[in-house]
Amino acid sequence: MNIIGPDALVFGVEDLPACRQYLLDYGLKDAGNDRYEALDGTAIVLRAKDDATLPAAMGTASLLRETVYGVADVATLDAIETELRRDREVSRRDGVVRSVDDMGFALAFQVTVRRALDMKSERVNGPGDAQRAPNQLGLPAEDQALPRTLSHVVYFVPDAAKAEAFYQRLGFVCTDRFTGVGPFLRPAGTLDHHTLFMIQTPPFMKGCEHFTFHMGGPTEVLLAGTRFVEKGYQSFWGPGRHRFGSNWFWYFNSPLGCHVEYDADMDLHDDQWAAREVPMGADASQLFLFQYREKWAPSGPPPPGAAH
Ligand SMILES: [Fe+2]
């Protein structure tokens, strides 16, 4: 089934003004009706927690109310509807197929709203492989570094094996796995290492752990993350680089009941790829990890804690 990836995540939040400001400061664009879009039209949608039009809450602290998948065409919607009707209730209205996965996450499927991007990603000049033309500068413009596309969502689930089996029915394949934790899953319509990762947790934690948008490269992750810190938001983890997926990351706390990440430069895989499996641990989770600090210049006094 030609599922491309998440088109949107819908949250039912307690503090709408804080969430609106957060998403604008993160770099998404106000598209009206509390829809905040990346450059390709993928989005985060905000609603009040008690909005009667939302799917039911999961009964945990999670504020995620619906994961909206973009699919390639109507034939894929038909195939999803047929598959899910085998064992659960499905609705189809205005081109949107809705149902619930085996863990209780509300899902919607639609022909994708994504617009194709025609933008350069970050280029690196290395000896033997210069990727930038002469006179082409390496730094992005300061006003750039905007989220390009909704990359992935991570769920806390009480039964990762059962959850994975459900997504296999929709054509998702495991690209890598942390033993006893959960799989990285890639749907058939993208080469991205994952659009969904699952972490097994006790049932009371069920919900969204984080979501992220792809940036144009590691410099954009660092630039956007630095801007976000300087606006007063709290770094949670990063910047760093994951091992599985090779993606650069920087995670922040948010008022959406989950962490929010910037990421870039994820590995692409096709059906020739053989999934790896390792135990979870600090080394397995990241190649390296840094921490933000304020800018300084070597002409001034060294910052506190700097080596002399
Ligand atoms: Fe992530």
Q: Which domain holds residue 9?
A: 3-115+147-289
Report the domain count for the chain. Answer: 1
Ligand 1: distance of its center to the CA of 114 in Å?
20
Average pLDDT per run of 10 along the chain, which is 308 residues long?
Answer: 97 98 98 98 98 96 98 98 98 98 98 96 95 92 88 98 98 97 98 98 97 97 97 97 98 98 98 97 96 88 66
Q: What's the pLDDT at 302? A: 72
Ligand 1: distance of its center to the CA of 46 in Å?
20
Give the domain CATH number at 215. Answer: 3.10.180.10
Domain contains 193: yes
Domain contains 135: no
Ligand 1: distance of its center to the CA of 175 in Å?
14
Ligand 1: distance of its center to the CA of 228 in Å?
17
Q: For strand 29-30 and strand 125-126, is the pairing parallel, antiparallel, or unpaired?
A: unpaired
Ligand 1: distance of its center to the CA of 263 in Å?
7
Domain contains 201: yes
Q: What's the pLDDT at 233? A: 98
Query: Whole-prediction pTM value?
Result: 0.95
What is the Cα–Cα distance from 197 to 84, expressed in whole angstroms?
Answer: 21
Q: What's the pLDDT at 8? A: 98
Range list of β-strands (E), 38-95: 43-48, 64-71, 91-93
Ligand 1: distance of its center to the CA of 210 in Å?
7
Domain contains 271: yes
Residue pair 236/229 in contact (Cβ under 8 Å)? The answer is no
Domain contains 96: yes
Ligand 1: distance of its center to the CA of 174 in Å?
16
Ligand 1: distance of its center to the CA of 259 in Å?
9
Ligand 1: distance of its center to the CA of 47 in Å?
23
Ligand 1: distance of its center to the CA of 179 in Å?
18
Question: By three-state DSSP, how is residue 138 classified?
Answer: coil
Q: What's the pLDDT at 299? A: 82
> CA nearest 275: which of 173, 176, 202?
176
Eight-class DSSP state of 204? G
Ligand 1: distance of its center to the CA of 242 in Å?
9
Q: What's the pLDDT at 202? A: 96
Question: By three-state DSSP, how is residue 83 classified?
Answer: helix
What is the Cα–Cα distance from 57 to 59, expressed in whole angstroms?
Answer: 6
Q: What's the pLDDT at 306? A: 63
Ligand 1: distance of its center to the CA of 77 in Å?
27
